[in-house]
């Protein structure tokens, strides 16, 4: 009996020691405080890749930061926690998602949403809740005074379009153009901007009203009319990565010999799988994807992205910048900016860092004053790509400035 009692006492002491040891160990290796960043966007349905790429980019970069010991702000290390919400491209869900992120999770910095309607819907939540967000929507109203809480996360169609059309006009002798857009607000807005830019350059606009419905799988009826107009260039306005290869393939099957372009980011693997050789010569906008321009850091990032998402997506080349510039601007503004976005905003005009994703070491900063009367856009490089034999090749690199 005594022996048993002694044994129990020994076990109890050992248990206490173990708990104490764990506590001491825990204290010695104290976990960093968490800095939560929200990702709000479409992560299911036909446009799922737009929001999921935002999420995967943020998660991949956060994993890299956390494994390196955290992100230092004001001499203190923070682990980055990504909180993601799928808004299904529905303004109601976007508002409830933003409310959850801002009011329940206390998040002040959100990446997303992806389209004009959802981005506009959450503006009151963002402003009232004292938060900042980085939408991937192109409406100028979001970024122009009196609005000040949203930062455009990529190159807008009205910025890339004129540059691409002018390049094709000068280098390829393009004289006529036909536009086609998905029948929803973002694509239609992008088409209107594209038509205005083409007309300003003196191009003959042969089609400016053609649309197709979301969920279209057979593009023969849509493309037959456009190809019949015999334009030098067909512009796929605001086209989703799932639609672009089908439209390219259909146009070539209908005998179209001219050029095709878009102002949105596309994925080489999807183009290759669905359109094959029909996608050769297709011009689109990228970010830091092409091997000619990406840095070693970007190579490392893309491997980490593959671990998170399962495979690389070229859309990530335009979306890799959001978390990087958010964290580094907070760092420059100081720890108060974690809760007080006015400190963040005060840094935006002067902030700059070296772009870690590109070889040329150009600056990453905030731009857009020429379009929005204030710096409310990330200086994502305007990388214009052409698709050739399964890969993108860089045609030229421009900038919004």
d(CA 366, CA 379): 6
Q: Is 257 in the site for another protein (CB under 8 A)?
A: no
In angstroms, the first-to-last Cα distance of the chain is 85
Q: How far is the CB of 147 from another protein (least distance, A)?
A: 29
Among 213, 257, 296, 361, binds another protein (CB under 8 A): 213
Among 138, 158, 165, 212, binds another protein (CB under 8 A): 212
Q: How far is the CB of 41 from another protein (least distance, A)?
A: 12
Q: Is 320 in the site for another protein (CB under 8 A)?
A: no
Among 91, 276, 281, 334, binds another protein (CB under 8 A): 276
Q: How far is the CB of 231 from another protein (least distance, A)?
A: 14
The stretch among 114-122, 239-247, 316-324, 363-371 that binds another protein (CB under 8 A) is 239-247
Q: Which helix (H) or strand (E) holds 178?
A: strand 176-182
d(CA 145, CA 15): 62
Q: Is 220 in the site for another protein (CB under 8 A)?
A: yes
Q: Is 230 in the site for another protein (CB under 8 A)?
A: no
d(CA 140, CA 159): 11
How many residues bind another protein (CB under 8 A)? The answer is 45
What is the x/- site pattern for another protein, positions 287-316, by CB under 8 A?
A: ----------------------xxx-x---
Q: Is 258 in the site for another protein (CB under 8 A)?
A: no
Look up residue 34 and give its DSSP letter: E
Among 225, 230, 336, 389, binds another protein (CB under 8 A): 225
Cα R_g (the chain), whole angstroms: 24
> What tokens does 363 get?
């600056």
Q: Which helix (H) or strand (E) holds 125?
A: helix 123-128
Task: Look at the block and give the residue holding tokens 């860089």.
Answer: 394
Among 269, 352, 359, 388, binds another protein (CB under 8 A): 269
Instruction: Pick the closest to residue 101 from 41, 33, 152, 31 (CA basis).
Output: 41
Q: Is 224 in the site for another protein (CB under 8 A)?
A: yes
d(CA 373, CA 352): 19
Task: Tell me whether residue 154 or residue 247 sits nearer to another protein (CB atom).
Answer: 247
Q: Are 285 and 263 in contact (CB under 8 A)?
A: yes
List binders of another protein among 189-208 (CB under 8 A): 207
List binders of another protein among 43-62 (CB under 8 A): 43-49, 52-53
Range list of β-strands (E), 114-203: 132-134, 176-182
Q: Which residues contact 16 (CB under 8 A, 6 or more apart)?
A: none
How many Cβ atoms from other residues are within 10 Å of residue 30's Cβ?
9
> What tokens does 138 get?
């192109």
> What tokens does 318 get?
């335009």
**Beta strands 176-182 and 204-212, pairing class:** parallel
Among 206, 270, 283, 326, binds another protein (CB under 8 A): 270
Among 66, 117, 185, 242, binds another protein (CB under 8 A): 242
d(CA 104, CA 114): 22
Task: Tell me whether residue 95 or residue 271 sits nearer to another protein (CB atom).
Answer: 271
Q: Is 222 in the site for another protein (CB under 8 A)?
A: yes
Q: How far is the CB of 273 from another protein (least distance, A)?
A: 5
Residues of this chain that interact with another protein (CB under 8 A) are 43-49, 52-53, 183, 207, 209-218, 220-222, 224-225, 228, 241-242, 245-246, 253-255, 267, 269-270, 273-276, 309-311, 313
């Amino acid at each position: 009996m005594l022996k048993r009692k002694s044994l129990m006492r020994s076990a109890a002491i050992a248990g206490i020691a173990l708990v104490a040891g764990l506590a001491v160990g825990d204290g010695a290796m104290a976990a960093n405080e968490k800095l939560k960043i929200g990702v709000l966007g479409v992560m299911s349905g036909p446009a799922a890749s737009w929001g999921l790429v935002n999420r995967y980019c943020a998660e991949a970069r956060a994993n890299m930061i956390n494994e390196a010991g955290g992100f230092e702000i004001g001499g203190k290390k923070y682990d980055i926690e990504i909180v993601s919400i799928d808004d299904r491209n529905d303004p109601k869900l976007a508002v409830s998602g933003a409310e959850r992120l801002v009011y329940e999770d206390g998040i002040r910095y959100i990446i997303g949403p992806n389209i004009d309607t959802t981005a506009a819907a959450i503006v009151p939540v963002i402003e009232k809740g004292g938060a900042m967000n980085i939408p991937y929507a192109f409406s100028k109203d979001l970024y122009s005074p009196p609005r000040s809480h949203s930062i455009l996360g990529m190159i807008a169609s009205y910025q890339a379009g004129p540059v691409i059309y002018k390049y094709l006009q000068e280098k390829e002798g393009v004289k006529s153009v036909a536009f086609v857009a998905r029948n929803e607000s973002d694509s239609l807005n992008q088409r209107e901007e594209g038509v205005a830019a083409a007309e300003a350059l003196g191009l003959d606009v042969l089609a400016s009203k053609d649309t197709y419905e979301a969920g279209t799988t057979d593009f023969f009826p849509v493309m037959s009319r456009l190809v019949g107009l015999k334009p030098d260039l067909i512009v796929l306005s605001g086209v989703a990565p799932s639609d672009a290869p089908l439209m390219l393939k259909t146009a070539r099957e209908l005998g179209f010999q001219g050029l095709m372009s878009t102002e949105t980011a596309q994925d080489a693997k999807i183009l290759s799988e669905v359109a094959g050789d029909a996608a050769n010569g297709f011009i689109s906008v990228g970010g830091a994807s092409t091997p000619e321009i990406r840095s070693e850091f970007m190579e490392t990032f893309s491997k980490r992205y593959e671990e998170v998402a399962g495979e690389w997506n070229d859309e990530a080349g335009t979306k890799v910048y959001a978390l990087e510039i958010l964290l580094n601007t907070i760092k420059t503004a100081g720890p108060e900016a974690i809760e007080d976005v006015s400190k963040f905003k005060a840094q935006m005009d002067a902030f700059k860092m070296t772009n870690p994703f590109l070889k040329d070491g150009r600056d990453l900063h905030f731009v857009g004053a020429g379009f929005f009367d204030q710096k409310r856009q990330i200086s994502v490089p305007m990388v214009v790509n052409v698709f050739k034999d399964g890969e993108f090749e860089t045609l030229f690199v421009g900038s919004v400035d």
